[in-house]
């Protein structure tokens, strides 16, 4: 977790930016406060006084501040022992054979929990060095706050010794980078000395500069100490970061944050200008080119959205303490707002791109709530006092405020998502259709995929990335990023290309919500249309694929669902290996051929999910288990394969609670005589639902009803009467 310590004190003479056209700012000259205030970047004088008063008080607020002092007391007991060199990226802390994270035996021995291979030396030991550097920094950070609150020099002395120690070592630590699996590998321009990336060293500056800022008035420092910290540490780190201009990236956002911290604590206005105004790297540029319409960070991953938002918050709050208002930039608030609409039925955010399971991180919203007082932000904030709530002076604590959020179906056309929400007496359900722009290094090849949540749990599953950050390993390329791990259609058993999709139509009312999108870019020569229909008790997925190149292709309809077991009468155990990108990561494969309706049952705890796919001659079926949060975590899957110049799939995914019976009898997908398609779902109570789908929206007759809608939704009751659900 990144501590977001920032000022709320409104300095006179704030620089107000003209945000009418971001990217064409008419920015006034940036000046720093004169004389330089103390503190400058860690917090304001008013905020520091709040922390001090809380420490002098009784009750929970005192306990929170006292805990930080206790951390500092423990830090003083720890040896100030610097690693012999810089750290390495956690991506190296993996077994190359088993592709899973290593376990630490001691500083120089690291074991694979599966094959028991023991690794030693570089780069494995250096991952431990990285953790040690972080512990030293955390100890220093705690001591700096302890000094600022208590004014006891023993804490300042520890901060001084740590900072001077790093100043003495920074340039003598060998320069290295994350790409170096061996010390003899050539380092890249993105490397560092204490850490292996300019990204990490930039992030490090938050704690380093905050610590120095809080103690720099202490008499434990000599003039030579200040010179060493300024010239041999902070400015050397600045020079190392500045040599690597990262442009449109989360890296550059952290670079800019570091420039703000270093410039602020050293009173160097030129660094502040660089952080904000660099035309191809600065903060204004970042907001202009890296934030999608609506506020999503372009990498289309909640993990990296909030990771980057951490740097954004550091920049805007440091600027605020220095008299510059960046909150008036529209994209800033949009970055905070956007996740509110994506909360799924279990309260989590959908796992797109290189993400792991996460909820909206309430700790990131304290300064945003203080600025805008938006009740939505209050709904995700911790509902009891925290360090940050004390710092910002928040007194509003409302239990269960998150329940007041109204969840709505929404089309996020610019970001490329259709969010479908259904509120029913037995619990919410949610689904998201993905047609977003490609997200770069942390984006996935997942166009027209979807996720599904019901029964207060995640069902339709996108694994995101491995928890262990296995970016360099084949499993990341061939499974996590690849199309095969997503709920979409695989063509010719190869991953999609870098592409986006286009929304066709969207509709939502209290009974039904649906969305349709298409792409002709994911696979050259293939036009793929997908329709997602969310009903209170089930989800319908319909696909039409057509080869515009006139060739025959293999089309694999894929669905992954969290659970323990999968069963289907249509398959049997097979030792036959299927060739294709990522198929080697599917275990316990069973295959079959069917001309009939295809059914599979996935157990998830005491509940189950019924997956039913329309009948078509010579459909091949595969069931098995794919990798989840690691190669050891297995998630059930079903693939249905059809060959030719075109393919159609219609499926019902039905959650069933406990021992209740399934509602679905059948699903079919046929041509409508007057144009378009008919998707018919027969229910066991004798009723049926008919979805007349025509992406071209031509005028046609459906059961005697004339329509030109993209989707006409009808329900035939057991009495024979038709009820229009939507038109």
Average pLDDT, integer, range 44-55: 97
Average pLDDT, integer, range 177-197: 97
For residues 212 and 529, what is the distance between their CA atoms, to the nearest angstrom? 57
pLDDT, residue 330, reads 94
Q: Which regions of 118-236 does DSSP assign to beta strands (E)?
A: 118-119
Please identify which residue in the block is written with the tokens 């321009």. 189
pLDDT, residue 14, reads 32
Average pLDDT, integer, range 694-708: 91
Instruction: Please choose, from the candidates 715, 675, 713, the residue with its C-alpha nearest in 3D space to the C-alpha of residue 695.
Output: 675
Choose the weakest-confidence range: 7-16, 117-126, 596-605, 665-674. Answer: 7-16
403: pLDDT confidence band, cut at 50, 70 and 90?
A: low
For residues 459 and 608, what is the distance between their CA atoms, to the nearest angstrom? 10
Give 690's contacts (C-beta < 8 A, 6+ positions apart).
678, 679, 680, 681, 702, 703, 712, 713, 714, 715, 716
Give 562's contacts (C-beta < 8 A, 6+ positions apart).
457, 458, 459, 461, 604, 628, 635, 636
Residue 20 or residue 522, greater confidence: 522
Q: Is pLDDT at 18 greater than 70 in this prediction?
A: no
Q: Tens of pLDDT along 663-678?
A: 999 999 999 989 999 9
For residues 295 and 298, what is the distance between their CA atoms, to the nearest angstrom? 9
Q: Tens of pLDDT along 416-467?
A: 999 999 986 667 899 999 999 999 889 999 999 999 999 999 999 999 999 9
pLDDT, residue 251, reads 97
Tell me what the pLDDT averaged over the chain comes to.
93
Please identify which residue in the block is written with the tokens 């990771």. 307
Q: Is pLDDT at 477 greater than 80 in this prediction?
A: yes
For residues 332 and 287, what is the distance between their CA atoms, to the nearest angstrom? 8
Burial of 413 (0-12, 13-18, 19+ CB in 10 A): middle
For residues 579 and 49, what is the distance between their CA atoms, to the nearest angstrom? 65
Average pLDDT, integer, range 701-723: 89
pLDDT, residue 400, reads 61
Average pLDDT, integer, range 14-38: 63
Average pLDDT, integer, range 174-198: 97
527 near 549, Cβ under 8 Å?
no
Please identify which residue in the block is written with the tokens 């040690």. 132
Q: Is pLDDT at 291 greater than 70 in this prediction?
A: yes
540: pLDDT confidence band, cut at 50, 70 and 90?
A: very high
What's the pTM? 0.89
Instruction: Please choose, from the candidates 179, 188, 154, the residue with its C-alpha nearest in 3D space to the C-alpha of residue 76.
Output: 154
In our burial notation (b when 16+ CB lie closer than 10 A, e otherwise), range 280-302 reads: ebbbbbbbbebbbebbbbbbbbb
pLDDT, residue 9, reads 24
Q: Is pLDDT at 326 greater than 60 in this prediction?
A: yes
In our burial notation (b when 16+ CB lie closer than 10 A, e otherwise), range 147-183 reads: bbbeeeeebbbbbbebbbbbbebbeebeebbbbbeee
Average pLDDT, integer, range 42-47: 96
401: pLDDT confidence band, cut at 50, 70 and 90?
A: low
Token pair belonging to 541:
């997925």
Percentages of the chain per state (helix, strand, coil), in multiples of 5: 30, 25, 45
Q: In this structure, what DSSP letter does residue 674 have?
A: T
Cis peptide preceding 35, ω within 30 of 0: yes
Strands 634-644, 587-594: pairing is: unpaired
Q: Tens of pLDDT along 502-525?
A: 999 999 998 899 999 999 999 999
Q: Is pLDDT at 8 greater than 70 in this prediction?
A: no
Please identify which residue in the block is written with the tokens 């000395």. 193
430 near 419, Cβ under 8 Å?
yes
Average pLDDT, integer, range 391-410: 79
């Amino acid at each position: 977790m990144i501590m977001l310590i920032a000022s709320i004190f409104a300095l006179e003479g704030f620089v107000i930016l003209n945000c009418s056209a971001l990217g064409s700012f008419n920015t006034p000259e940036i000046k720093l406060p004169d004389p330089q205030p103390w503190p400058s970047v860690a917090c304001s004088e008013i905020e520091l006084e709040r922390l001090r008063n809380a420490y002098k008080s009784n009750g929970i607020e005192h306990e929170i501040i006292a805990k930080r002092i206790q951390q500092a007391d423990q830090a003083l007991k720890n040896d100030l022992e610097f690693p012999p060199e810089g750290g390495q990226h956690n991506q190296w802390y993996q077994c190359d054979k088993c592709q899973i994270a290593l376990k630490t035996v001691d500083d120089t021995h690291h074991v694979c929990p599966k094959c028991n291979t023991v690794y030693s030396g570089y780069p494995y030991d250096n991952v431990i060095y990285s953790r040690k550097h972080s512990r030293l920094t955390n100890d220093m950070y705690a001591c700096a706050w302890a000094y600022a609150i208590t004014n006891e020099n023993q804490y300042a002395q520890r901060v001084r010794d740590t900072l001077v120690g790093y100043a003495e070592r920074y340039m003598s630590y060998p320069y290295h980078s994350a790409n170096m699996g061996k010390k003899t590998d050539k380092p890249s321009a993105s490397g560092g000395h204490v850490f292996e990336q300019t990204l990490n060293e930039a992030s490090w500056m938050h704690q380093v500069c905050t610590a120095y800022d809080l103690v720099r008035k202490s008499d434990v420092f000599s003039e030579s100490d200040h010179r060493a910290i300024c010239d041999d540490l902070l400015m050397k780190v600045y020079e190392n970061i500045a040599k690597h201009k990262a442009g449109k990236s989360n890296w550059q956002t952290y670079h800019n944050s570091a420039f703000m911290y270093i410039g602020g604590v050293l009173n160097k206005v030129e660094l502040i200008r660089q952080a904000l105004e660099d035309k191809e790297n600065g903060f204004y540029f970042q907001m202009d080119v890296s934030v999608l319409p609506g506020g999503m960070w372009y990498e289309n991953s909640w993990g990296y959205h909030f990771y980057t938002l951490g740097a954004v918050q550091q920049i805007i709050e440091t600027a605020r303490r220095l008299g510059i208002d960046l909150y008036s930039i529209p994209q800033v608030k949009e970055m905070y707002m956007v996740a509110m609409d994506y909360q799924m039925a279990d309260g989590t955010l959908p796992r797109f791109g290189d993400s792991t399971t996460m909820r909206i991180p309430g700790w990131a919203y304290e300064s945003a709530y203080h600025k805008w007082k938006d009740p939505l932000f209050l709904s995700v904030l911790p509902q009891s006092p925290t360090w940050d709530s004390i710092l910002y002076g928040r007194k509003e604590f409302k239990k269960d405020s998150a329940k007041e959020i109204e969840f709505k179906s929404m089309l996020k056309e610019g970001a490329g998502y259709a969010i479908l929400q259904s509120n029913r007496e037995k619990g919410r359900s949610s689904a998201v259709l993905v047609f977003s722009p490609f997200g770069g290094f942390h984006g996935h090849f997942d166009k027209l995929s979807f996720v599904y949540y019901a029964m207060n749990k995640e069902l339709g599953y996108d694994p995101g990335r491995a928890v262990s950050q296995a970016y360099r390993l084949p499993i990341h390329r061939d499974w996590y990023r690849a199309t095969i791990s997503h709920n979409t259609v695989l063509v010719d058993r190869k991953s999609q290309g870098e592409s986006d999709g286009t929304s066709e139509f969207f509709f939502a009312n209290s009974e039904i919500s649906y969305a349709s999108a298409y792409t002709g870019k994911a696979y050259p020569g293939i036009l793929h249309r997908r329709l997602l229909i969310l009903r209170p008790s089930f989800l319908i997925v319909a696909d039409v694929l057509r080869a515009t190149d006139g060739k025959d292709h293999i089309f694999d309809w894929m669905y992954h669902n969290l659970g323990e077991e999968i069963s289907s009468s249509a398959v049997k155990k097979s030792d036959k290996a299927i060739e294709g990108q990522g198929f080697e990561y599917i275990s316990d494969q069973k295959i079959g051929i069917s001309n009939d309706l295809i059914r599979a049952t996935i157990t998830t705890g005491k509940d189950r999910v019924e997956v039913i796919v329309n009948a078509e001659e010579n459909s091949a079926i595969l069931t098995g288990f794919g990798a989840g949060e690691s190669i050891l975590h297995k998630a059930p899957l079903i693939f249905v394969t059809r060959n030719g110049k075109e393919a159609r799939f219609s499926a019902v995914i039905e959650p069933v609670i406990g021992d209740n019976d399934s509602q679905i009898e059948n699903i079919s997908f046929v041509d409508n005589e007057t144009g378009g398609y008919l998707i018919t779902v027969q229910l066991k109570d004798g009723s049926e639902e008919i979805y007349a789908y025509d992406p071209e929206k031509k005028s046609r007759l459906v059961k005697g009803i004339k329509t030109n809608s993209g989707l006409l939704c009808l329900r035939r009751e057991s009495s024979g009467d038709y009820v229009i659900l939507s038109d």
